[in-house]
Amino acid sequence: MAPVATPFFFYLLAGIMLIGGVMVITRKNPVHSALALIVTLLAQASIYLMLYAPFVAGVQIILYAGGIMVLFLFVIMLVSIDRSIRERQFNSQWVVGLIAATALGGLFIAVYTKGTSIFPEHALPMIENDNTQKIATMLYGQYMFAFEIASLLLLVAIIGAVVMAKKRI
Amino acid sequence: MTDPNTTLSHLDLETPEKPFLDANELVINMGPQHPATHGVLRVILRLDGEKVLGLECVIGYLHRGVEKIGEHRTYTMFNPYVDRMDYVAAVSNGLGYCETIEKLLNVEAPPRAQHVRVILTELNRIASHQLWLGTHALDIGAITPLFYTFRDREEILKIYEKYCGARLTTHAFRIGGLQYETYAGFEQEVKNFLTFLKPKIDEYEELLTTNRIWVERTKNIGKISAQDCIALGVTGPVLRASGVKWDLRKAQPYANYKDFDFEIPTGQNGDTYDRYLVRMAEMRQSVHIIEQAVNALPEGPIMAKVPKVIKPAAGEVYHSIEAPKGELGYFVVSDGSTQPYRVRVRPPSFVNLQALDVMCRGQLVADVIAVIGTLDIVLGEVDR
Amino acid sequence: MGAILQYVQSYLSSDKTPGAAGNMFWAFVYIMLVFLGLSVAVIAMNWLERKILAHMQVRLGPMRVGPHGLLQPIADAIKLLLKEDIMPAEADGLIFWVAPFVVVLAAFTVFVVVPFGPTHAITDMNIGILFMLGVSSLSVLGIVMAGWASNSHYPLIGALRSSAQMVSYEVAMGLAVVSAVLMTSLNATGTGTLSMIGIVQAQLAQGEWFIFKFFPLGLIAFFIFAVAMVAETNRAPFDLAEAESELTAGFHTEYSGFRWSLFFLAEYSAMIAVSSIAVTLWLGGWLRPFPNLLSGSTWNEVFSLVPGATFLFFAAICFYNTARMPKHPYFRVQTIGLAGFGVVLGLIGLVLFVPAVSSRVQDIFWFSAKVAGFMYLYIWYRGTFPRYRFDQLMRMGWKVLLPMGLGVLVLTAVVALLQSYLWHP
Amino acid sequence: MIAKFKGCYGSGVEPLTYLGQNYMIVDRSLIPEILQILRNEEHFDYCVDITAVHYPQREKQFDVVWVLYSFARNERIRVKTQIVDGEILPSSVPIWTTTNWLEREVYDMFGIKFDGHPDMKRILLPDGWKGHPLRKDYGILQQDNEWVQINLGIESGQ
């Protein structure tokens, strides 16, 4: 399957992501922020699709945009919006924020200038059709242990959450 | 029956339980325009999430001053007005009023009139319960029973229409008896209707009684104990579903109910499901009563000797009947003139509605709807 | 010019979907066809639901607009489009405006991968079923947005209810789907597929619809999905989000006119979408009944006649009712209209008997017929069941369907492993 | 029962019967006590109704009537007392919970206040309404025109 207008879509999606990301931190209404975050995540999922990683894209949509963000919205909506709008959104941690942002930007520039040689010239040719199967073989073969550890960790987290919530009832 | 020394402190109506988080308390205004409040009832709900912490009924949107009107009309002229209170059981209202004035005049309607009165009143009880069933099921989300019950209720209304020309606010009875002799074929038509209705009641029960969702939605919902019922003055099927075997037709028989053999269906749990069962059983009992009445319909006059201008001697009387919704009482004070000095109506819906708060505490919003439905209120009667 | 013609024609003999073949023109044509077909299906559903529900409830349903109310959906559509579009003063304008489009977009995008036939899909994605579940779950966002932006209590509660409901039933639904996907891996290579077309082809290859596979495991998984999909689409008896008697209309209480009709459209196309998933996963998708029991060219011939025969049957019903129409000048237009409708149906039926047409339309017919069965179930549920309460609904989702789904998944895996080791070592 | 009351309270209680219905006229000062005794000792556990009658010519303008019923005895009794305009009666909500709304209605219609009632406000008429419609001096066409004009924005409700 021949990719169509790839650079155009890449820059479009990247632009959407950037705008969405900026909106997340600038909107005063938390619900607007959350919705902007969802837009960002969806654009990200589309970029995964362009990278021939449909499984990751699908999981991104189901888990982040579908599941987690809905729960997120839930919590935000139950909070009184008026109060949070009245509060100052940019609190006095701007110094720390600035330092962190500068450091991160510096890192990006350093990697971009010095590390170009590490990356291949073109994206590696990948076959779309068995991508999902490949992920499965990797996860359940090579990275079996890590995968199981991660799932155990999540199980612990779930049980912990249930126990903590149960106490209050 | 009840232990007189028990105080009813647990029925503390004014202090709701403390919400889990004050910030979470949500006040919702349900009605007066709401599909499930059966008219213009307004309920202010205080919610913790979906749990009801307390509620307050705001009524009076349909207040027409029936009692005031009664003081300015003659005894005869006021008779049609009572039909407009509980408009789905207009015949029962008329019966209660006529019997009260007859009591005040100290006359008694002749046996044939009594029989016809019983037939029509019991038909009305069936019609009222059918309307209740349809709307109650609709509130809980079953849309189909509504059409079944309305189809069958139509047959009752047809009998009324043939008898007195009106379908809803019938004004079927007169003080002292009946105005109209029954039409030709009345008995046969009522009998036909009964044979038509019996399988239909089974049909309603088939739709709902064992329906899992119906049972889950109604069992243990809006529970009220017999003691609370009595303290709150709740009567009718609601009281009987709580296990109190009390029906004015048996306890203090009026008309000629003492001539008929019937059972008082009761429940045990006092929940919405029991009230449903009680009302279904009452419909069957009504069928049974009508059968007896129509088979033993005596010949004779239909009107007692009542003066053209009704002028009862000064005095007062309280008389009540078992309306489909509970005890319907009339307290009439006469000063010897042609107009009542004071007419007081003791509406069952009004008093029963008071129990809504007790029945809904700690339940969910969806249950409030179910409980309003199961109380079977008619706002015309609540507000008068 | 010739090049364009060749480009268009090049796909015609292809055995791939236009998406997989990379043919933009045919992909566009397919998108248009699916969109139009879906709109017609929703309109038909509107009429059918009202008629079927009415007959279940001893009444007639729409009778005035057109013969037997056949034009009622069109009248409704016109009414909705002409209605004033009200936006509450306190509403959050942008989100209120966007919400219905999000819902419609999510509901329609899903159809990109629905396989109406081996080549009759817009595209065949490697992650087809995952894509469907993911995108259809996005409609929750639209509902939440609508409920919140209305700035009113009833819509907010409705939105919270429906999103909680959809998120929870998605879990059970996902487990049921995974157990069906597991069954696709029972082949020589041992690799399964998430592709919608691949799943149907696996059923064809194994000679068994997955509903009957590992009886009763497939059936249980199907049952879980069938329950979850009703909850997922917020339909009776799980229609708490729009519980009329409790929350007036739930999340779309404040919507009117065109925007409201978008929600309506989305609801019905979501119903069709989840039914298509069920049909694809368990009921053999586009496969005709008994492809291996009643095989052979004779049976193929017989089954290829069914689409045309169905339409002729509907036409016959129309003619029968035309004959029963009251013979009164007042009904003349309606009688002619009904007869005309019958003629149209009959002509479609006759066209479907042409072998060239019927061979291409067969798959679509069987797929649609199976989906139509589900649509009838939806209406039937609505006519017979009372509504669940919210906590009961949640209890059922988490405490009944989820453990059942997990159990079925594990058992399916165990049985499949045993089968591959014991019988095909 | 009647004899017992007569013995205890003498002329404060006057038992009567009219058309076979029992009622007693009780002095205002004995009301709380009598109601309590009727509930606790005589098993009148169900308060059917509370209402009032207005006699503008009398000095004691109002008759207040309690209709009581006993499940145990299957018997009804009416308790009646006379009060002057403006006099406050003790609330019987602690005795019968049901009287909550009934007393509110009496207040709404007649302006008779009940002391100790948890929520003494109008029930059928709007909260800001002036006048008590079931009094005899309140005309049948009379309205609180001011309320109607302010709240409904129309000149008159008639």
Which of the two residues, A120 and A5, has the higher pLDDT score?
A120
Q: Collect all residues with Cβ–Cβ distance below 8 Å to C87 and sequence separation of at least 6.
A: C93, C96, C97, C254
Residue C316 lies in a domain: no
| C-beta separation of B142 from B150 below 8 A | no
Residue C343 lies in a domain: no
Q: Is A140 exposed, middle or buried (0-12, 13-18, 19+ CB in 10 A)?
A: exposed
pLDDT on residue A128: 56
| C-beta separation of D73 from B246 below 8 A | no
pLDDT on residue B9: 37
Could you give the CA distance from residue B374 to residue C310 in angstroms, rounded to a whole number? 47
Same structural domain for residues C88 and C198? yes
Strand D114-115 relative to strand D21-26: parallel, antiparallel, unpaired?
unpaired
Nearest neighbour of B213 by CB, restricted to C153, C157, C388? C388
Residue C183, pLDDT > 90, answer no
pLDDT on residue C106: 87
Same structural domain for residues C66 and C110? no
Chains within contact range of chain D (3+ C-beta pairs < 8 Å): B
Same structural domain for residues C274 and C379? yes
Could you give the CA distance from residue C201 to residue C197 in angstroms, rounded to a whole number? 6
Residue C220 lies in a domain: yes
Q: Looking at the complex, does the CB of residue D41 fall below 8 Å from at least one CB of chain B?
A: yes
pLDDT on residue A104: 93
pLDDT on residue C243: 64
Residue B11, pLDDT > 50, answer no
Residue C11 lies in a domain: no
Token digits of residue B313 = 């001697």
Peptide bond into B32 cis (omega under 30): yes
Closest-CA residue to D40 (of D12, D82, D68, D64): D68
Bridge partners (DSSP) of residue D26 are: D13
| C-beta separation of B53 from B72 below 8 A | no
Could you give the CA distance from residue A7 to residue A12 in angstroms, rounded to a whole number? 8
Distances (CA, A) of B270 to B55, C53, C381: 20, 34, 29
Same structural domain for residues C211 and C136? yes
Same structural domain for residues C132 and C176? yes
Residue C418 lies in a domain: yes
Could you give the CA distance from residue D144 to residue C173 in angstroms, rounded to a whole number? 62
Nearest chain B alpha carbon to D96:
B231
Token digits of residue C364 = 């679509």
Same structural domain for residues C220 and C360? yes
> Do residue B11 and residue D97 have CB atoms under 8 angstroms apart?
yes
Convert A33-46 to b/e letters by CB count within 10 Å (16 or more is b): bbbbbbbbbbbbbb
pLDDT tens string for chain D (158 positions)?
666 766 676 677 777 777 778 888 888 888 888 888 888 877 888 888 888 888 888 888 888 888 888 888 888 888 888 888 888 888 888 888 888 888 888 888 888 888 888 888 888 888 878 888 888 888 888 777 777 787 777 777 66
pLDDT on residue A78: 65
- Closest CA–CA distance from residue B202 to any residue of chain C (Å): 16
> Do residue D19 and residue B1 have CB atoms under 8 angstroms apart?
no
Architecture of domain A1-85: Up-down Bundle (1.20)
| C-beta separation of B194 from B155 below 8 A | no
Which of the two residues, B17 and B241, has the higher pLDDT score?
B241
Residue B1, pLDDT > 60, answer no
Question: Mean of the pLDDT values across residues B130-139?
Answer: 88
pLDDT on residue B18: 45
Same structural domain for residues C78 and C155? no
Following DSSP, what letter does each residue of C250-269 receive, concatenated? GGGTT--HHHHHHHHHHHHH
Mutate to test the interface with B, among D16, D39, D45, D93 (most CBs of B within 10 A): D45
Helices C93-109 and C139-149: crossing angle in degrees, nearest 10, is 160
Could you give the CA distance from residue C161 to residue C141 in angstroms, rounded to a whole number? 13
Residue B237, phi then psi, degrees to nearest 5: -55, -30
Residue B27, phi then psi, degrees to nearest 5: -105, 120
Token digits of residue B143 = 């849309």
Same structural domain for residues C76 and C128? no
Question: Mean of the pLDDT values across residues B17-25?
Answer: 48
Number of inter-chain CB pairs under 8 A, B vs D: 112
Q: Where in chain A is the domain with CATH 1.20.120.1200?
A: 1-85
Mutate to test the interface with C, among A62, A78, A135 (most CBs of C within 10 A): A62
Nearest chain B alpha carbon to D50:
B346
Q: Which of B44-53, B370-379, C289-298 tops mean pLDDT? A: B370-379
Token digits of residue B346 = 């003791």
Token digits of residue A168 = 């209050």
Structure confidence at residue C316 as a pLDDT band (50, 70, 90): very high
Peptide bond into B307 cis (omega under 30): no
Q: What is the pLDDT of residues C223-251, one digit of tens each?
A: 999 998 888 888 878 877 666 656 666 77
ipTM: 0.75
Question: Mean of the pLDDT values across residues B293-307?
Answer: 85
pLDDT on residue A155: 93
Residues of chain C contacting B143 with CB distance shorter than 8 Å:
53, 57, 382-383
> Do residue C127 and residue A77 have CB atoms under 8 angstroms apart?
no
Same structural domain for residues C272 and C408? yes
Distances (CA, A) of C68 to B240, C59, C128: 47, 12, 40
* Own/partner long-range contacts of B156-163 (Cβ < 8 Å, ≥24 apart): B156/B123, B156/B124, B156/B126, B156/B127, B156/B130, B156/B193, B157/B127, B159/B123, B159/B186, B159/B189, B159/B190, B159/B193, B160/B91, B160/B120, B160/B123, B162/B186, B162/B189, B163/B120
Q: Of C27-36, C340-349, D119-128, which gets the smallest average pLDDT?
A: D119-128
Residues of chain B contacting D19 with CB distance shorter than 8 Å:
103-104, 106, 315, 317
Q: Is C5 exposed, middle or buried (0-12, 13-18, 19+ CB in 10 A)?
A: exposed
Structure confidence at residue B3 as a pLDDT band (50, 70, 90): very low
pLDDT on residue A121: 66
Q: Looking at the complex, does the CB of residue D51 fall below 8 Å from at least one CB of chain B?
A: yes
Mutate to test the interface with A, among C112, C123, C141 (most CBs of A within 10 A): C141
Percent of chain A with pLDDT over 70: 75
pLDDT on residue A153: 94
Residue C10 lies in a domain: no
> Do residue B232 and residue D98 have CB atoms under 8 angstroms apart?
yes
Question: Mean of the pLDDT values across residues C128-152?
Answer: 83
Residue indicated by tokens 């049972």: B215
> Do residue B216 and residue C388 have CB atoms under 8 angstroms apart?
yes
Residue B115, pLDDT > 70, answer yes
Residues of chain D contacting B253 with CB distance shorter than 8 Å:
none
Q: In the structure, do chain A and chain C come into contact, i.e. share 3 or more CB pairs under 8 Å?
A: yes
pLDDT on residue B17: 45
Token digits of residue A18 = 């950037």
Structure confidence at residue C265 as a pLDDT band (50, 70, 90): confident
Average pLDDT, whole number, for chain B? 83
Strand D114-115 relative to strand D89-90: parallel, antiparallel, unpaired?
parallel
Residue C346 lies in a domain: no
**Measured on CA atoms in the order C380, C382, C387, C388, is the torsion positive or negative?**
positive
Structure confidence at residue A126 as a pLDDT band (50, 70, 90): low
| C-beta separation of A81 from C157 below 8 A | no
Residues of chain A contacting C135 with CB distance shorter than 8 Å:
61
Distances (CA, A) of C346 to C37, C301, C308, C334, C351: 19, 20, 9, 18, 9
Same structural domain for residues C92 and C124? yes
Q: Of B4-18, B69-83, C375-389, which gets the smallest average pLDDT?
A: B4-18
Which of C48, C82, C116 is the C-terminal boundary of a domain?
C82
Residue B22, pLDDT > 60, answer no
Which of C51, C67, C82 is the C-terminal boundary of a domain?
C82
Residues of chain C contacting B365 with CB distance shorter than 8 Å:
157, 246
| C-beta separation of B221 from B367 below 8 A | yes
Q: How far out from the chain centre does Cα C378 lie?
A: 11
- Closest CA–CA distance from residue C138 to any residue of chain A (Å): 6
Could you give the CA distance from residue C296 to residue C282 in angstroms, rounded to a whole number? 24
Query: Element (H or E) spanning D79, and its range?
Result: strand D75-83
pLDDT on residue D31: 81
| C-beta separation of D81 from D27 below 8 A | yes
- Closest CA–CA distance from residue C176 to any residue of chain A (Å): 16
Q: Which of A13-27, A45-59, C5-19, C350-364 tops mean pLDDT? A: A13-27
Residue C117 lies in a domain: yes
Reduce the secondary structure of chain B to three states and give it as a string: CCCCCCCCHHHCCCCCCCCCCHHHEEEEEECCCCCCCCCCCEEEEEEECCEEEEEEEECCCCCCCHHHHHHCCCHHHHHHHHHCCCHHHHHHHHHHHHHHHHHHHCCCCCHHHHHHHHHHHHHHHHHHHHHHHHHHHHHHCCCHHHHHHHHHHHHHHHHHHHHHCCCCCCCCEECCEECCCCCCCHHHHHHHHHHHHHHHHHHHHHHHCCCHHHHHHHCCCCCCCHHHHHHCCCCCHHHHHCCCCCCHHHHCCCCCHHHCCCCCCCCCCCCHHHHHHHHHHHHHHHHHHHHHHHHCCCCCCCECCCCCCCCCCCEEEEEEEEECCEEEEEEEEECCCCCEEEEEEECHHHHHHCCHHHHHCCCEHHHHHHHHHHHCCCHHHHHC
Quote the number of domains for chain C.
2
Q: Whole domain around residue C61: which residue ranges?
A: 33-82
Q: CA torsion angle for D124, D127, D131, D134 (degrees, to 10)?
A: 10
Q: What is the pLDDT of residues B78-88, one digit of tens each?
A: 888 888 888 88
Distances (CA, A) of A166 to A157, A160, C168: 14, 10, 19
Which of the two residues, B278 and A63, has the higher pLDDT score?
B278
Q: Of B5-14, B129-138, B265-274, D143-152, which gets the smallest average pLDDT?
A: B5-14
Domains of chain B with CATH codes: 1-61 (no CATH), 66-383 (1.10.645.10)
Token digits of residue C118 = 């081996």
Peptide bond into C216 cis (omega under 30): yes
Structure confidence at residue B5 as a pLDDT band (50, 70, 90): very low
Average pLDDT, whole number, for chain C? 83
pLDDT on residue B13: 42
Q: In the structure, do chain C and chain B come into contact, i.e. share 3 or more CB pairs under 8 Å?
A: yes
Sequence letter at residue C179: S
Which of the two residues, A3 and C363, has the higher pLDDT score?
C363
Structure confidence at residue B187 as a pLDDT band (50, 70, 90): confident
- How long is chain A? 169
Q: Looking at the complex, does the CB of residue C160 fall below 8 Å from at least one CB of chain A?
A: yes
pLDDT on residue C332: 85
Could you give the CA distance from residue C92 to residue C85 in angstroms, rounded to a whole number? 15
Same structural domain for residues C242 and C116? yes
Number of inter-chain CB pairs under 8 A, A vs C: 79
Q: Looking at the complex, does the CB of residue B59 fall below 8 Å from at least one CB of chain D?
A: yes
Same structural domain for residues C135 and C257? yes
